Structure 1
């Protein structure tokens, strides 16, 4: 009888923790980069997607990305720089950055940092 009560208590505790996690996940607070504390990055649409118009290109290694939302946040942040078109590869932890003017790497680092990630020096 006591063993049954103990098992029921353990199961009840597990259900409470699972329910809390589910609520946090579905409300956006439980993901790696979501929630109320995460900085929201404005969705940026690049008008000019003709690579011929971007004479400068560089690849930038990005640290701290763990999911598609992370890579989208980095891509949006980089695309917010005037004259820049960036595409981020989550698997490679890399951003391919095209620009119409010579690229200011300090600006790139600042924008990536403001989005919550970091540039890895090679």
Structure 2
């Protein structure tokens, strides 16, 4: 009987460990959506060598945001960049960005990815 209990405890520990690892792509808030991860990530990378000039208006498509904490983190990261003003739309999984200085795609990508999300496309308006 004790062996069965030990086996069940080990199985439970493994299941929780796997769930925690899968949650790594989200914001870490623990909401049920973040725990499921993002299954719709596009593999169409943006050219990281592109530099967008001042006065550009962009839409950044971002995967992995599932709650207000997610979008707030991305918003803070983008707005912390010199010359960037961003408004993140959680429902649309994107950010509207206006530039007052030249900014590269790599800088935008790094800001988003450092928060644990994926920048899949940059559209110039």
Same fold (TM > 0.5):
yes
Report the TM-score, using the length of structure 1 for normalisation: 0.55
Q: How does 1:1-122 map to 2 (within 5 A)?
A: 30-31=30-31, 55-121=55-121
| Greater strand content | 2
Rg larger for: 1
Which stretches in structure 2 are left out of the alignment for 5+ residues? 1-27, 35-53
Displacement over 2 Å in runs of 4+: 28-34
Which stretches in structure 1 are left out of the alignment for 5+ residues? 1-27, 35-53
Q: How many residues align?
A: 76
RMSD: 2.4
Q: 1:33 to 1:86 in 2, by over 3 A?
A: farther
Report the TM-score, using the length of structure 2 for normalisation: 0.54
Compute the displacement of 1:56 (Å).
1.7
Compute the displacement of 1:29 (Å).
6.2
**Relative contact order: is structure 1 or structure 2 higher (C-alpha 8 Å, sep ≥ 6)?**
2
Match of 2:103, SS state, is coil
